[in-house]
Amino acid sequence: MIVLLDAETIRARIKELALEIERDYPADEEIHLVCVLKGGFVFMADLVRSMSARVSMDFIAVSSYGSGTKSSGEVRFQKDLDTSLESRNVIVVEDIVDTGLTLKYLQEILRSRAPKTLRTACLLSKPSRRKVEVPVEYIGFTIEDKFVVGYGLDFAEKYRNLPHIAIFQE
Ligand code: IMP
Ligand code: MG
């Protein structure tokens, strides 16, 4: 597989994103990160370790893909949050925004729970694949239409543990 983004490049960019996020919220306010499992877990882990103690976090699980490389457009809810979002500054933490269908669905559900603010952070974005418009305030890297794995992203549940992001080849 061809390495698209190496570990050091990703590390440096996530540090920048963490600083940007910290700057965007008043210093005395909590920032509540909602990680979208499973793909978002590595990004989340690195992001929060570059942030201050005012961060809290929760996890949600949805699935939009079977085991292939094409989006079904169908989103299934597999694990809900443990705590309320009401009046909190919420940031959804996702691995990648592709068609946008998953995020669109998630944002609607989370917005209905009355957070004070709702933003989204995605490590990767593939804008050429977008089917629905969806706001993503924090983007790590914009990439071309290639199926990628590593750093949380899988193909059939494999390769999530790669420390870099690679273009998938069977
Ligand atoms: P969307 O609903 O099409 O935006 O898809 C979002 C989800 O599809 C992501 O959270 C990923 O789990 C998965 N996905 C999209 N593109 C890729 C990719 O290139 N590699 C691995 N997973 C992907
Ligand atoms: Mg996936």
* 152 vs 65, residue with greater confidence: 152
Count Cβ atoms within 10 A of the Cβ of residue 62 and give its class: 0-12 exposed, 13-18 middle, 19 or more buried. buried
Q: What is the pLDDT of residues 107-117, one digit of tens each?
A: 999 999 999 99
Q: Which ligand is nearest to the CA of 71?
A: 1
Instruction: Find out whether the beta carbon of 64 lies less than 6 Å from any atom of ligand 1.
Output: yes
Q: What is the pLDDT of residues 74-108, one digit of tens each?
A: 677 799 999 999 999 999 999 999 999 999 989 99
Please state, in angstroms and rounded to a whole number, the distance separating the CA atoms of residues 92 and 110. Answer: 9
pLDDT of residue 73: 59
Instruction: Find out whether the beta carbon of 35 lies less than 6 Å from any atom of ligand 1.
Output: no
Q: Which of 115, 45, 107, 44 lies closest to 75 in space, CA to CA?
A: 107
